[in-house]
A and B are shown apart, each in its own frame.
Chain A
């Protein structure tokens, strides 16, 4: 899949591993803006 030669399920699993850090970074940006650095849930502390 995607020219990697790996099965679809494996590519999806690797993609989750690669994308979760990005998701955490985006959440951190939200926390910084709306929670003064504190972890926020749906934009609230």
Chain B
């Protein structure tokens, strides 16, 4: 156990040194440099960091837990998500990047707000969007810190209480030190390690069971529905379950940390190349954990849903030599940290821009960077509180945040990009309905969660756009160009 802890400590130290290096050597004077790396991010860093920033608590905990409890029917989600990712790269990335540069926007929240800046409701749009991003991102960061705590607890033997605190501190310090440049380069490094872990772990687990045929036979004997796309459901129940997976995956359209990478690229010419790398990695990480979970059902029978999310950690400790196990655990935990730092940067940028726009327009760049770093600290602290209170499984918290972000920001973004009749009233409605319906469906219509927020928000935006289109001539750049 000692050597796993030692390797782990060295890894985290290297992570902090990288953050410190960028802090000491990079002139992060402008806010856009701190947040977007000066819009000069190349193809490999962009694509792999995009993967690493989502491949984390979700991949090695939540998605493994789904493989264990529900089985391969989670592929409904995987197939939908990979298609949505392809759509985003082919149809959204280029116009969004172009529009973002015209507007000088740093994040999706900033983009929506700047787009309607100067119009009536402009400042209200920024306020509601900032509140929404804080609500969902704090939840998201909280889920990642839970995953860090579980990984350290299960894999390394560090008490959960301490693991959560240490993990939160490390990600906070690291993000504050380096900004986006550090984030994107450590993401590349971690993306490679995640790839190694994702490929080797399921192979070892299947071999442990006795090979592929034994895996299929044993899983079928344990629960025949685990290998099926129907999960043993039929009729309306199957329809609702499938729609729920698809609705969850649609959240991909509005993830601020992924959209920020579109804004950060140095040229539209790299989008197509980056899409190949991203789709390949996503394909792997959306499929493999389900098989890890299904294999875990055979190797670790009788776990409850929360324990089931730790199956990958248990298997790493049990099946790999100590040295390798230490490296893989460190890679997974650091990937979780990198996901958190991307989220923290986005949230920090949005709160900072709100301060600059609504409270102190004369704020200096230095003042804004200091404020941005303070926001990182506050969000980490709130995330740690969530990690201690544990309002649900990692999967449940991620699902809430992921769908909420997709509905609240993805739908308005697509309206802005592709429908000229979109009005400020419609966007404000979309933000408000997206935020409230995502929270409301958890409590009012849990059996249809997360399906409901989608038609409700799209319908509300369409109706309000049509009702207000004539009375509200838009002054957006897109309309001005026409």
Contacts and interface: CB of A to CB of B under 8 A. Distances in A.
Contacts of B273: 28, 37
A9 B230 CA distance: 9
Interface in B59-113: 72, 75-76, 78-79, 82-83, 86, 89-91, 93-94
A39 B228 contact: no
B344 interface: no
Contacts of A37: 269-270, 272-273
Contacts of B287: 14, 17
B82 A16 contact: yes
Interface in A15-39: 16-18, 20-21, 23-25, 27-28, 31-32, 35-39
B270 A6 contact: no
A20 B269 contact: no
A9 B82 CA distance: 17
A14 B212 contact: no
A14 B220 CA distance: 18
B279 A10 contact: no
B276 A28 contact: yes
B21 to A, nearest CB: 31
A28 B272 contact: yes
Nearest to B217: A5
Given A5-B216, A17-B286, A20-B283, A10 B272 contact: no
Interface residues of B, number: 35
Given A14-B75, A16-B82, A27 B229 contact: no
A24 B212 contact: no
A9 B76 CA distance: 10
B339 interface: no
B73 to A, nearest CB: 8
A39 to B, nearest CB: 5
Contacts of A9: 228-230
A41 to B, nearest CB: 7
A43 B93 CA distance: 17
- Which of the listed residues A4, A24, A36, A39 has the most CB atoms from chain B within 10 Å of its own CB? A24
Nearest to B76: A13
Contacts of A41: 90-91
A27 B272 contact: yes
Interface string B208-249: 000011001100100000011110000000000000000000
A28 B287 CA distance: 23
- Which of the listed residues B89, B93, B280, B283 has the most CB atoms from chain A within 10 Å of its own CB? B283
Contact of B272 (A4, A17, A39): A39
A13 B229 contact: yes
Contacts of B283: 17-18, 20-21
Contacts of A35: 272
Contacts of B268: 38-39
A36 B269 contact: yes
Contacts of B280: 21, 24
A34 to B, nearest CB: 11
Contact of A38 (B94, B212, B216): B94
Nearest to A36: B269
Contacts of A18: 283
A24 B269 CA distance: 15
A16 B84 CA distance: 13
B79 A24 contact: no
A7 B227 contact: yes
A2 B86 CA distance: 27
B90 A39 contact: yes
Nearest to B274: A28
Contacts of A39: 89-91, 93-94, 268, 271-272, 275
Contacts of A6: 72, 216, 227
Nearest to B229: A9
Contact of A10 (B75, B82, B217, B270): B75
A32 to B, nearest CB: 7
A39 B97 CA distance: 13
B451 to A, nearest CB: 20
Given A20-B86, A38-B269, 15 more contacts: A4-B216, A6-B72, A6-B227, A9-B228, A10-B75, A13-B72, A14-B75, A16-B82, A17-B75, A17-B78, A21-B276, A21-B283, A24-B276, A37-B269, A37-B270
26 contacts: A4-B212, A5-B212, A5-B217, A5-B227, A6-B216, A7-B228, A9-B230, A13-B72, A13-B79, A14-B75, A14-B287, A17-B283, A17-B286, A20-B283, A21-B279, A24-B279, A24-B280, A32-B272, A37-B269, A37-B272, A38-B94, A38-B268, A39-B90, A39-B93, A39-B268, A41-B91
The 6 closest A-B pairs by CB, nearest first: A5-B216, A37-B269, A9-B229, A13-B75, A31-B272, A21-B280
